[in-house]
Amino acid sequence: MQPDARHVVRVLNGLIETTLSNVHGYREAAAHAREPRFKAMLEERAERRQALSKRLADEVRTFGGEPPRDESLAARVHERFVAFKEGRGDDVTVVDEVEEGEDVMKHRFAKAAKEPELPPRVRDWLVELSTQVRAEHDEISRLKKQMH
């Protein structure tokens, strides 16, 4: 693997880890959500983020890399949700946790999209993904404001 290919793989693998953590966060949130439409929205978001992680993994492989596995991420996310469940554990608390995950995702995708050492094709793709992630973050933020 070429030196710049290693850098691309490292950046994309970081995004995969973030995205998989987000997938698990949405699944945990859906498991704890009470309102059926909110629960369905969270489940649908988990599926969309799972699809995104697969697209990122495919791109890692085109650069000769191996994408990370997500087994340990699930455990870490679960521990965070168990801790929050011992608190209030209502839909407002769930949306607060989801927004935290969205904040991290938005920041990491925006940062990756500005990586000057990425090939233009990859950087352009990440700019597009960053825009999508930001829009989804903003939807969750609006939902949070409505629920508070």
| SS3 readout for 96-147 | HHHHHHHHHHHHHHHHHHCCCCCCHHHHHHHHHHHHHHHHHHHHHHHHHHHH
pLDDT tens sequence across 75-94: 565 555 555 555 556 889 88
pLDDT for 96 beyond 80: yes
Determine what percent of the chain is predicted with pLDDT higher than 70: 84
Per-residue pLDDT tens digits for 35-89 = 999 999 999 999 999 999 999 999 999 999 999 986 555 556 555 555 555 555 6
CATH dotted code for 3-147: 1.20.1260.10
pLDDT at 69: 82
> What is the pLDDT at residue 93?
87
Answer whether 113's CB lies under 8 Å from 106's CB: no
pLDDT number for residue 128? 98
Any idea what DSSP says for residue 35?
S
